[in-house]
Amino acid sequence: MRKILVIISAAAVSCYSLPSCNSNNSEKSSDVKAENSALDKKWAKSFVDSINTKFSEQIALGDSAALASHYWPDAELLLDNSDVVKGKDILNAWGGAIRMGVKEMIFSTTDITGSPTFIIETGNYEMKDEKKSLIDRGKYVVVWEMRNGEWKLYRDIGSTSMPAAK
């Protein structure tokens, strides 16, 4: 059971920062700005926070397809006690997390750095079930990549902070 929780939490963490950022004109203009200069950390933090909120909403709705849509086709999800999850298998990983009872993900970004093409986000997460009981907590590193004016996840790495089951 512990292995399943670790996989779920890692999957959930990975997917947390997922949707493309082309949902409105202000984000589009920010994308252009980011392409033409050094990374604007204030904009990047706002972007990541908005996606993390959207990701949390999609977890609550149980929408694994929406979660997976935040990843590039060649993205990789790297979780504890698991082989690399790639491409279409990311949808299955999020579907598995939802079926195992993940109903809430809380993300807390601790650092953002990057370039006009990549945003590297570091943070902490908590994963809870429908009764708000803690399933897992840990840390993550997410690499966002800009392609054709759209930001999506390129690499998603999550690691539990919970003690190993004995």
- Using 50, 70 and 90 to split pLDDT, how confident is the model at 123? very high
* 133: exposed, middle or buried (Cβ count in 10 Å: 0-12, 13-18, 19+): exposed
pLDDT for 25 equals 44
Q: Mind giving me the DSSP string for 12-63?
A: HHHHTT-S-S-SSHHHHHHHHHHHHSS--HHHHHHHHHHHHHHHHHHHHHT-
- Using 50, 70 and 90 to split pLDDT, how confident is the model at 8? very low
pLDDT for 164 equals 82
Sequence-separated (6 or more) residues with CB below 8 Å from residue 21: 27, 30, 31, 47, 50, 51, 150, 151
Stated as kind and residue range, the H or E segment containing 148 is none
Q: pLDDT tens digits for 78-109?
A: 998 889 999 889 999 999 999 999 999 999 99
pLDDT for 53 equals 96
Q: State how beta strands 150-160 and 71-78 pair.
A: parallel
Q: Which of 135, 134, 153 is nearest to 145 (CA)?
A: 153
What percent of the chain lies above the pLDDT cut of 90? 72
CA distance 8 to 46: 26
- Using 50, 70 and 90 to split pLDDT, how confident is the model at 36? low
Q: pLDDT tens digits for 58-81?
A: 999 999 999 999 999 999 999 988
